[in-house]
């Protein structure tokens, strides 16, 4: 993606090229009338830094492998003390004053899912890096989710790439009503 500068001023040219790409994507979205946001996310849970976020309509489907932006209900948010883990976020569409969660969908309607102390299993296959931790990075106990069954309509399981990602191991099954948007990695 990035190369080592070979001559003086090449770093400036490279930065200019990336800004040109970024502004071009932004212009296409504005001119086409699409409603979207560019999201900056720096986390070990997902690869990438900039994401294109599209708000969902009621008719849109959500498939395995897609990235979704979601906010659990207040009761789940408070039960798992999510405010201890999520940075504060000012925009109006925040999750109780914190950033929304951005995760990859690993199971959808009709999938057989087991979430237990050994991790997340979808249709008998283990989801990589899904063994839950007992404590967070500060030594606080984490509440784990448990599930063994088939996902009903509008239910999803989400996971991050990082072993300590705040995902379905802790928040459980994600309802369609929690999901605010889909996201695509830009770079």
Query: Would you put residue 106 in left (φ > 0), alpha (ψ -120 to 50) or beta?
Result: alpha
Give pLDDT, residue 21: 73
Do 102 and 14 reside in the same domain of the chain?
no
Do 71 and 147 reside in the same domain of the chain?
yes
Most confident of 77-86, 97-106, 149-158: 149-158
> Which domain, by its residues, includes 71?
36-185
What is the tens place of the pLDDT at every residue in 65-92?
999 988 887 777 666 655 555 544 444 4
| Stronger pLDDT, 87 or 131, i.e. the higher one | 131
Do 108 and 93 reside in the same domain of the chain?
yes
Averaged pLDDT for residues 84-111: 72
Do 9 and 68 reside in the same domain of the chain?
no
Do 70 and 26 reside in the same domain of the chain?
no
Q: Is the pLDDT of residue 178 over 80?
A: yes
Most confident of 38-42, 100-104, 118-122: 118-122
Q: Give one DSSP letter per residue of 120-144, joined into a string.
A: EEETTEEPTT-PPPSB-TTSPBPPP
How far apart (Å, rounded) are the C-alpha atoms in residues 42 and 147? Answer: 30
Give pLDDT, residue 34: 47
Looking at the structure of the chain, the number of domains it has is 2
Do 11 and 45 reside in the same domain of the chain?
no
| pTM of the full structure | 0.72
Instruction: Name the pLDDT band for 33 (thresholds 50, 70, 90).
Output: very low
Averaged pLDDT for residues 45-69: 80
Least confident of 27-41, 72-86, 95-109: 27-41
Do 10 and 67 reside in the same domain of the chain?
no
Q: Is the pLDDT of residue 154 over 70?
A: yes
Indicate which CATH number applies to the domain containing 167.
2.10.109.10
How far apart (Å, rounded) are the C-alpha atoms in residues 77 and 84? Answer: 10
Do 28 and 120 reside in the same domain of the chain?
no
Do 16 and 52 reside in the same domain of the chain?
no
Do 133 and 83 reside in the same domain of the chain?
yes
Query: Would you put residue 164 in left (φ > 0), alpha (ψ -120 to 50) or beta?
Result: alpha
Do 6 and 47 reside in the same domain of the chain?
no
Do 107 and 173 reside in the same domain of the chain?
yes
Instruction: Name the pLDDT band for 159 (thresholds 50, 70, 90).
Output: very high
Averaged pLDDT for residues 32-54: 63
Q: Is the pLDDT of residue 160 over 60?
A: yes
């Amino acid at each position: 993606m990035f190369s080592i500068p070979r001559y003086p001023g090449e770093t400036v040219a490279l930065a200019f090229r990336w800004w040109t790409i970024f502004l071009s994507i932004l212009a296409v979205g504005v001119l086409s009338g699409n409603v979207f946001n560019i999201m900056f996310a720096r986390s070990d849970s997902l690869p990438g830094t900039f994401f294109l976020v599209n708000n969902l309509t009621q008719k849109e489907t959500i498939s395995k492998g897609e990235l979704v932006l979601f906010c659990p209900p207040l009761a789940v948010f408070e039960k798992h003390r999510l405010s201890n883990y999520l940075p504060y976020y000012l925009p109006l569409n925040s999750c109780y004053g914190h950033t929304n969660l951005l995760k990859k969908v690993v199971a959808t309607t009709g999938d057989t899912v087991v979430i237990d102390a050994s991790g997340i299993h979808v249709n008998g296959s283990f989801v990589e890096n899904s063994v839950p931790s007992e404590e967070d990075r500060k030594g606080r106990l984490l509440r784990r989710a448990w599930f063994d069954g088939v996902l009903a309509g509008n239910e999803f399981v989400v996971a991050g790439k990082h072993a300590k990602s705040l995902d379905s191991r802790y928040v459980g099954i994600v309802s369609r009503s929690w999901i605010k948007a889909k996201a695509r990695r830009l770079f």
